[in-house]
Amino acid sequence: MRVVRDRVERAAQSDCAVLLTGETGTGKGEIARVIHELSRRSKARRVHVDCAALAPSVIESELFGHERGAFTDAASRRAGRFERAEGGTLFLDEIGELAPGLQAKLLRVLHDRSFERVGGDAPLDTDVRIVAATNRSLAEEVAIGRFRSDLYYRLAVVEIELPPLRARLEDLPQLCECIAEVLSHRLERPPCAPTPGALAVLKSHAWPGNIRELANLLERVAVCWPGRAFDRAVALGALRKPGARLPAPLAPRAPCAREADRLARALAGSRGNVSRAARELGIPRSTLRYRLARAGGQGKGADPGPSGSLGPSSRQLYLPF
């Protein structure tokens, strides 16, 4: 992951095309967002195109737009994704699903920096940074003739491979804390930090769905067992392991006035440093942030979270960067 971070930071400083590879759910979309936000184009738009979700009959119009009357339903001129992303970043997700004819047209755009709308003949200049992603091996697709080699080389100026979660299990504690913070603010429930017993169960899992599967599991724990310790039994139940006895959910408890006073004293004793106060209380920092927010204890000078406040940003990266 340190190699990934270094390549992301280096790639973000240029306008070169970037190809993100890795299994489904490894965070390619998040990496594309980070590259855009660290680049000089961050104030412009980042436009997402899912090449696998769009039908071959409409994807050309979606990418390049169309003129009025270009086809039966074209009642008016429509701007495509390239025009909407002007000056910014166009994220082409699942680029390996692109049909050969569209591969050729995309190659021309990358080469000439211009395109025509469907049904039009006037070339339109474009200033767009391309970030593409795929869960396939494009080198293998090129070898068997399913993907154009010239387009592959254009896209893979910088290629970043994201490892599967099973190859980075040592990151599970950080990933769980990061995702749990986001979920706690979205669901307005305490963050579900796994105990050592729960982490042992999580590390024994194969994680075929990678980080996306982990995020879904943590949300399941927060919804189904609110207020209960995320222990081994809960982990087994959330993973739906055969023979696991599902623990009964507990009702969440609001912090009382005494608890609010205790948190306030700890925060005052640490001079507003949330991390130090959490260590003194013996609880995770994410838990202390949640309790402070619920108790109205966001004190002056407190250690800010990723978004500049005690609460984490919902756009926080699910990677321990």
- pLDDT value of position 245: 57
> 73 in a domain, yes or no?
yes
- pLDDT value of position 69: 67
Alpha-carbon distance 262 to 281, whole Å? 9
Q: Say if residues 222 and 229 touch (Cβ distance below 8 Å).
A: no
> 217 in a domain, yes or no?
yes
The answer on 149 and 19 residing in a single domain is: yes
CATH assignment of the domain containing 14: 3.40.50.300
Chosen domain end from 230, 251, 272? 251
The answer on 148 and 7 residing in a single domain is: yes
What's the domain count of the chain? 3
> 189 in a domain, yes or no?
no
The answer on 80 and 173 residing in a single domain is: no
> 90 in a domain, yes or no?
yes
The answer on 104 and 91 residing in a single domain is: yes
Chosen domain end from 218, 234, 251? 251
- pLDDT value of position 140: 94
> 70 in a domain, yes or no?
yes
User: Degrees (nearest 5) of the Cα angle 177, 181, 186?
Assistant: 150
User: pLDDT tens string for the chain (321 positions)?
Assistant: 889 999 999 999 999 999 999 999 999 999 999 999 999 999 999 999 999 888 877 888 889 887 776 676 776 778 889 999 999 999 999 999 999 889 999 999 999 999 888 888 888 999 999 999 999 999 999 999 999 999 999 999 999 999 999 999 999 999 999 899 888 888 888 888 899 999 999 999 999 999 999 999 999 999 988 888 899 999 999 998 655 555 554 444 444 556 666 777 777 777 777 777 777 776 767 677 767 766 654 433 333 333 333 333 334 444 544
CATH assignment of the domain containing 271: 1.10.10
- Other beta carbons within 10 angstroms of residue 10's beta carbon come to 12
The answer on 156 and 39 residing in a single domain is: yes
- pLDDT value of position 307: 34
> 139 in a domain, yes or no?
yes
The answer on 216 and 308 residing in a single domain is: no
The answer on 281 and 228 residing in a single domain is: no
Q: Can you say how many angstroms the Cα of residue 242 is from the centroid of all Cα atoms in its chain? A: 30
The answer on 103 and 32 residing in a single domain is: yes
Range of the domain at 241: 167-184+194-251
- pLDDT value of position 6: 94
CATH assignment of the domain containing 178: 1.10.8.60
The answer on 141 and 36 residing in a single domain is: yes
Chosen domain end from 251, 270, 298? 251
Q: Say if residues 210 and 25 touch (Cβ distance below 8 Å).
A: yes
> 269 in a domain, yes or no?
yes
The answer on 102 and 135 residing in a single domain is: yes
Q: Say if residues 67 and 79 touch (Cβ distance below 8 Å).
A: no
The answer on 174 and 60 residing in a single domain is: no
> 38 in a domain, yes or no?
yes
Query: What residues pair up with 282 in beta bridges, in sequence order?
Result: none
The answer on 96 and 18 residing in a single domain is: yes
